[in-house]
Chains A and B, each alone.
Chain A
């Protein structure tokens, strides 16, 4: 085999483990010149660890080649619905890596981390202003972690009301993200699924019928995963409260409404936000993120530990709320992600955030207008941050699946939209352009989608075998799951 770059045939067959030579090294470890203490008993020690031995340049080349086999927002349009793949400002990374922040130790006394804590305080205050729910814990590490916090808080509040034994159900719309029902179950609740009405909103009649003294909460994604506003959610909030339950808000789609309407004003009791989405922090190939949880006065005593507070003499501290559900991670969350989110908030200010939500919504509606007629649109209403088309006509009439359409889009240089979510839309194509795409990029994306739709008619086979130009073709996912190979083995090459 010649060369080691990303274009090499069967690049993936050779892991770092297969690339080194015994005796090479990428870094030197200084030797200890002082007095040697005896090592512990052999039975407590190991002989060696099997790891690759690469030179520094070799390791850098290998991971650089890997990065070349990846697509990020900096590579191009990434309209992955529900994920808000917007531009990640570089200044956020720069400021987060300032040594004062980066080298701060999580056990440091408050006096030693006033800069970090001041940021968290002001970020929390800003999120409180934007959501109308002033009580916040920034500790959760991602959206699902924030959900867990929120639902645990509901459980704890019900326990204090003496109703946890009876309120065993959480109502979750059938359009919800999988983390919602999974979270409810982790908190010990039973999930009752609420159907989506023909207009794409929650079916009000079902909610009214289901709401009783066994309901702990209703989890609502606002705007929902169809990109639509839950019309009348403020009235539903009243119904839920009258029935003694709480309204949980999945704020993953906050990008659509930043500065335009507030969860607290609408009657939500507790929400989580995804700062890696709405507040532009890099998604990292699947994290790290941050999923702050915000709530009403009633639920504030239950917030996870820690929350940030400023005391009378201006010292910012971490405290445990009075009836806290406890910690959900060892320290205080993904602090460096919070620094980035704060930098984003400060770079935009209120006008900038409003401009962002406005443009995000305008862009999604622009996609909707341009693509109308080329794919089915099961919920044909003006949208907020994203629009969900369906490839069901292509499937039915042409035997082309949304899966194939997504793969073909790769050949046009785009990251495909989210597919097969939400589950209530057959062959779903969920497109979220975000505010950071210029109109010409949106037009190019739509043109590509239209050309793929045409190709589905003229030459479906080209779609069935797409992508043709990616670093690798379609992979055998069935065999991967049937006979899992999950780690390097000596003879696996």
Chain B
């Protein structure tokens, strides 16, 4: 039996004291510290203050306690504004939990990475089908960074220096595009209507549904962009695309989107998943990994079967080959989340995607009309909408949110500071296919009570 001190230092680190002694002898070093001799002696092994190590049961207890310090995960909550709780088939989490997927890395060795590669090819196929585009990459960090990459691509191919974002668009997307654009020396205009763009603009970017939930007719926007020689970029919710017209069909040149909500729970925003699909003519300008289908080499291993396989392809665009001239610096992205997204979409299938989108639409419209029927409340509309709606109550928005919170209900996002007249004094509520009817009932009850107090 080996004592604790001569055993391995931790369950995650297998070498025992005896192992170390043997290895050090082979190397010819007196101790492990000697291996760090190149580090400046005066700065070595500094005092560092970290909380003490915890054995697994205590670690779990601590994490349970911290998870409990968040709000009740099952309480009624109507936040949306870029992240939506969806009905995810249980097989999604189950399958991406398979450690052959989860504990692998970038598929540089295709012969032992066909799982990741073929799944990525499935993902690209699904994204193309949903968006109506020709080609998709294997995924970027999130919708906002993907949209920023789309703007950079547009600036490269049009050789123009200004990008236009159509309001209302997610403020986080605007901020991210601004940060990336600054690096590239581009200007960002947020515009109230497509008439505001001209021949100086590289692209027009529009969100579908827009930030306040309205379904947008993309076709005239695409026409306006193309009329001035700009690209049209649609930032589309892939879930809504089960029902809504494919942006490619409406004339989009690039489609980005957020895939997180179809991959799993919101996870406080991440892991997220940036969809990025485009017309074939922009293929060689695209950022990120792309997986292609091919066959075994005839002399690959002498079997001569030439079976079908998948590889990373068009890699000359990427940082590890083109370095400072790469289309993007992205390397590690969100591969596992892309697999999850794909499994959910495929589990739903063509009918399920549409049925869930319709269910989402109906639940949201039902909730909105029940709220609008309450005395003192209105749900101002800006056109047809999908799953999010504005609620203006008898008291200021912030106070309404606070009083709902006091009743254990998470209110919609306060958008009262936005310029759109419909958003004045309003909260933006999301109701989805996954919102339990009992939560809507609780909300209606609470709003009625608050209305009665006002």
* Chain A 408-456 interface residues, beta-carbon cutoff 8 Å to B: 410, 415-416, 418-419, 421, 435-439
Q: Is the CB of A261 within 8 A of B293?
A: no
Q: Is the CB of B331 within 8 A of A327?
A: no
> What is the distance, in angstroms, from A270's C-beta to the closest C-beta of chain B?
15
Known: A72-B100, A465-B301, A473-B300. A35 touches B176 (CB 8 A): no
> What is the distance, in angstroms, from B29's C-beta to the closest C-beta of chain A?
7
* Contact among A64, A350, A435 with B13 in the assembled complex (CB-CB below 8 Å): A435
> What is the distance, in angstroms, from A159's C-beta to the closest C-beta of chain B?
9
The answer to the question of B337 belonging to the interface, with a C-beta cut-off of 8 Å to chain A, is yes
> What is the distance, in angstroms, from A114's C-beta to the closest C-beta of chain B?
5
The answer to the question of A288 belonging to the interface, with a C-beta cut-off of 8 Å to chain B, is yes
* Contact among B244, B335, B349 with A287 in the assembled complex (CB-CB below 8 Å): B335
Q: Is the CB of B268 within 8 A of A262?
A: no
Q: Is the CB of B79 within 8 A of A108?
A: yes
> What is the distance, in angstroms, from A257's C-beta to the closest C-beta of chain B?
7
Kindly state the separation between the CA atoms of A147 and B331 in the bound complex, as whole angstroms. 11
Query: What is the 8 Å Cβ interface bit string for chain B, positions 129-168, against chain A (1 contact, 0 not)?
Result: 1100001101101111100000010000000000000000
Contacts of B296 in A (CB 8 A): 472-476
Kindly state the separation between the CA atoms of A352 and B289 in the bound complex, as whole angstroms. 35
The answer to the question of B102 belonging to the interface, with a C-beta cut-off of 8 Å to chain A, is yes
* Contact among A11, A151, A465 with B302 in the assembled complex (CB-CB below 8 Å): A465
List the A residue with the shortest CB-CB distance to B326. Answer: A182
Known: A260-B39, A369-B26. A40 touches B70 (CB 8 A): no
> What is the distance, in angstroms, from A452's C-beta to the closest C-beta of chain B?
15
Q: Is the CB of A107 within 8 A of B12?
A: no
Contacts of A345 in B (CB 8 A): 50
Q: Is the CB of A182 within 8 A of B328?
A: yes
Contacts of B35 in A (CB 8 A): 358, 361-362, 365, 382, 384
Q: Is the CB of A473 within 8 A of B297?
A: yes
The answer to the question of B251 belonging to the interface, with a C-beta cut-off of 8 Å to chain A, is no
Interface size for chain B: under 10, 10 to 19, 20 to 34, or 35 or more residues? 35 or more
Known: A105-B77, A327-B144. A113 touches B268 (CB 8 A): yes
The answer to the question of A94 belonging to the interface, with a C-beta cut-off of 8 Å to chain B, is yes
Contacts of B345 in A (CB 8 A): 51
Q: Is the CB of A104 within 8 A of B268?
A: yes
Kindly state the separation between the CA atoms of A112 and B346 in the bound complex, as whole angstroms. 34
The answer to the question of A167 belonging to the interface, with a C-beta cut-off of 8 Å to chain B, is no
Q: Is the CB of B349 within 8 A of A72?
A: no
* Contact among A191, A331, A347 with B53 in the assembled complex (CB-CB below 8 Å): A347
Kindly state the separation between the CA atoms of A267 and B76 in the bound complex, as whole angstroms. 50
Kindly state the separation between the CA atoms of A148 and B331 in the bound complex, as whole angstroms. 12
> What is the distance, in angstroms, from A403's C-beta to the closest C-beta of chain B?
10
For B56, B113, B283, the residue with the greatest tally of chain A CB atoms inside 10 Å of its CB is: B113
Q: Is the CB of B82 within 8 A of A286?
A: no
* Chain A 217-241 interface residues, beta-carbon cutoff 8 Å to B: 228-229, 231, 234
Q: Is the CB of B111 within 8 A of A34?
A: no
Q: Is the CB of B320 within 8 A of A421?
A: yes
Known: A101-B267, A178-B321. A470 touches B112 (CB 8 A): yes
**Which listed segment binds A: B59-67, B192-200, B417-425?**
B59-67
Q: Is the CB of A49 within 8 A of B271?
A: no
Contacts of B264 in A (CB 8 A): 102
The answer to the question of B329 belonging to the interface, with a C-beta cut-off of 8 Å to chain A, is yes
The answer to the question of B71 belonging to the interface, with a C-beta cut-off of 8 Å to chain A, is yes
Query: What is the 8 Å Cβ interface bit string for chain A, positions 179-203, against chain B (1 contact, 0 not)?
Result: 1011111111001000000000000
List the B residue with the shortest CB-CB distance to A471. Answer: B114
List the B residue with the shortest CB-CB distance to A106. Answer: B269
The answer to the question of A319 belonging to the interface, with a C-beta cut-off of 8 Å to chain B, is no
Kindly state the separation between the CA atoms of A56 and B347 in the bound complex, as whole angstroms. 7
Known: A101-B268, A115-B68, A305-B175. A349 touches B329 (CB 8 A): no
The answer to the question of A144 belonging to the interface, with a C-beta cut-off of 8 Å to chain B, is yes
> What is the distance, in angstroms, from A70's C-beta to the closest C-beta of chain B?
3
> What is the distance, in angstroms, from B252's C-beta to the closest C-beta of chain A?
13
Kindly state the separation between the CA atoms of A327 and B178 in the bound complex, as whole angstroms. 9
The answer to the question of A52 belonging to the interface, with a C-beta cut-off of 8 Å to chain B, is yes
The answer to the question of A398 belonging to the interface, with a C-beta cut-off of 8 Å to chain B, is no
Q: Is the CB of A331 within 8 A of B270?
A: yes
Q: Is the CB of B102 within 8 A of A476?
A: no
Q: Is the CB of B83 within 8 A of A467?
A: no
Query: What is the 8 Å Cβ interface bit string for chain B, positions 310-323, against chain A (1 contact, 0 not)?
Result: 11011110111111
Contacts of A261 in B (CB 8 A): 36, 39-40, 43-46
**Which listed segment binds B: A25-33, A292-300, A389-397?**
A25-33
Q: Is the CB of A46 within 8 A of B244?
A: yes
List the A residue with the shortest CB-CB distance to B356. Answer: A29
Q: Is the CB of B323 within 8 A of A472?
A: no
Q: Is the CB of A88 within 8 A of B102?
A: yes
Q: Is the CB of B15 within 8 A of A359?
A: yes
Enumerate 25 A-B pairs (CB-CB under 8 Å) in ascending A order.
A15-B122, A36-B362, A37-B366, A44-B384, A45-B243, A66-B118, A71-B112, A73-B99, A94-B60, A100-B67, A102-B266, A111-B405, A177-B319, A181-B319, A259-B48, A286-B105, A305-B175, A328-B179, A330-B258, A331-B269, A335-B268, A362-B15, A368-B27, A477-B313, A479-B294
* Top 3 A-B residue pairs of the complex, sorted by shortest distance between their CB atoms: A331-B269, A349-B53, A100-B67
